[in-house]
A and B are shown apart, each in its own frame.
Chain A
Amino acid sequence: MNRVSDEIIITENLVYSYSSEDQEIEMQALAGVNLSIARGEFVAIIGRNGSGKSTLAKHFNALFLPTSGTVRINGMDTQDPRNLWRIRQTVGMVFQNPDNQIVSTTVEEDVAFGPENLGVPPDEIRRRVNLALEWVGMSEYMRHAPHLLSGGQKQRVAIAGVLAMRPKCIVLDEPTAMLDPSGRREVLDTVKRLNKEEGITVVLITHFMDEAALGDRVVVIDQGKIVMDDVPRKIFSQVELIRQLHLDVPQVTRLAHELNKSGVTIPEDALTVEELADALSGSYRESAVASYGE
């Protein structure tokens, strides 16, 4: 039953529990998650430490299997072992630590690792490797040793390694957590471009709110459940609710919120510096006109 639909990832009542070793209790990392992600979407999943966001991500390419409920990737059930390799080819995964996901001693060999595992013919692998490295802007580093690259570059190599498998969707599990600001920008720009230009579905797990604001949609997870699911603007305008979940809103949004509290009436849904600046100059002009009228 291969239902072709617009959704690439569908989870239904996904529960994942494990028993902790020291205290014989069943812990639920995920407690009934219903989520569907459409083709070509850019979804950010946020949540504080231990909220279950990383566990959820590992269900998307069958690294973890649900305790109950189902996860379907492109119509394929992750519980069925026969689907395993096709699922992992469909959904590529980029992890947090760039050092611990690079396998080979040169950049090109590492990017080739995925397609080699899939049994792709040598000429085709070479083509894919060149193209993937071009997409992430790392072509000139082809023959470099990975340990001599910067964090951002390593992470882009990891993304290229996933791209060379021709996935429909990339899941990135806190890919920028260990990077410096310039490395973060490199990785995020790459991801955004892949989503917009190549139409690859992106699921970005993060705890940086500014990164989450890049998504078309933000899913907030807390205690193994989805608590909010909306466009970033709507999510972050609910400053108090977000704070209650021990999360932060983007800096700009927080500033707008604080300004409003101290009497400057401006819309609270600004996500970028430009938007806030426009809103502020607009409200300044209004008040100037008002005082001129007096």
Chain B
Amino acid sequence: MFRNITLGQYMPGTSLVHKLDPRIKILLTLVVITILFMVDTFTGYGLVFLFILGVILVARLPVRFVLYGIKPLLFIIVLTFGLHLFMNEGRTLFSIGPLVATYEGAFKGFTMAFRLVLLVLGTSILTLTTSPIELTDGLESLLSPMRGVGIPAHELAMMMTIALRFIPTLLEETEKIMKAQMARGADFETGNALQRAKSLIPLLVPLFVNAFRRADELAMAMEARCYRGGEGRTRMKQMKLTAGDVLTGMVVTAGMVAIAIYL
């Protein structure tokens, strides 16, 4: 049941967005996020929304699928809107008992909710169009100048790689242990939340023990293959910034800054 899980939610493709250097993509995502927190006019939001929509279309991502990514955050978005609606002073829109909804609150709540939606859409474009390996390599490359101030860029990237490598292995193992426990009468599906959480203990204990044993063996195997940290290490796949990558980065950044300043 876990065999075909996709990591993250990468959708392979050959569009310009897919081909853009991962470092530029990460940086541009950060730019868009920053700008989203700076704009506070409808026109500003509208333009950012149009930009994001444009990128989704260029990347040939199924719009419905991208919008689906908002679902897990729907509760927070509604809550944000609700809180703003009732917590702001101003002209009364309607009232439920002691709760007073205001026009100002509705406006503020709507912009905040829209901001959240755009944040989710903007970041999911990154994970939808960039493979986990590219993301890891991109992060390592971006963080490496900050090694001087104590950010272990290589170690972080290696941890991400190993995590990605072992997630399917551990899921497979979970399934195996679950089946073994079920064969001996374990019940993972009935009972209230507490009972179900309790029934997970005999699943988690062997899983953790095995994970530690794996970690130990993997560390030894890595050492046997001359692993000694990022120092002096080369990479088979080199990331190359093309002129097009840089140009895209600059044009989008300039556009975003313009939105923030003029709107």
Contacts and interface: CB of A to CB of B under 8 A. Distances in A.
A85 B225 CA distance: 9
A145 interface: yes
A102 B235 CA distance: 17
A245 interface: no
A117 B220 CA distance: 14
Nearest to A125: B236
A117 B168 contact: no
Contact of B234 (A100, A102, A121): A121
Interface in B216-244: 217-218, 220-228, 232-238
B161 A105 contact: yes
A189 interface: no
A105 B164 contact: yes
A99 B164 CA distance: 13
Interface in A92-118: 92-93, 95, 97, 99-106, 108-109, 112-118
Contacts of A50: none
A95 B220 contact: yes
Contacts of B133: 105-106, 109
A120 interface: yes
Q: Does more than half of chain A's interface fall in helix, strand or loop, or is it mixed?
A: helix
Interface in B29-67: none
A147 B172 contact: yes
Contact of A85 (B168, B217, B222, B228): B228
Max count, chain A CB within 10 A of own CB: residue among B222, B224, B233, B235: B224
Interface in B238-255: 238
Max count, chain A CB within 10 A of own CB: residue among B169, B227, B236: B236
Given A61-B224, A85-B228, A129 B172 contact: no
Nearest to B131: A105
B54 to A, nearest CB: 31
B91 interface: no
B236 A105 contact: no
B222 A103 contact: yes
Contacts of B164: 105
Nearest to B235: A116
Contacts of A104: 161, 165
Contact of B217 (A101, A108, A109, A162): A101
Contacts of B232: 119
Interface string B185-223: 000000000000000000000000000011001101111
A139 B43 CA distance: 54
Contacts of B217: 95, 97, 100-101
A103 B220 contact: no
19 contacts: A63-B223, A95-B221, A95-B224, A99-B214, A100-B213, A103-B218, A103-B222, A104-B161, A105-B132, A105-B164, A106-B133, A109-B133, A115-B234, A116-B236, A119-B233, A122-B234, A122-B238, A145-B168, A147-B165
Interface of B: 132-133, 161-162, 164-165, 168-169, 172, 213-214, 217-218, 220-228, 232-238
Given A103-B218, A122-B235, A125-B236, 8 more contacts: A92-B224, A95-B220, A113-B222, A114-B226, A116-B235, A119-B234, A122-B234, A122-B237
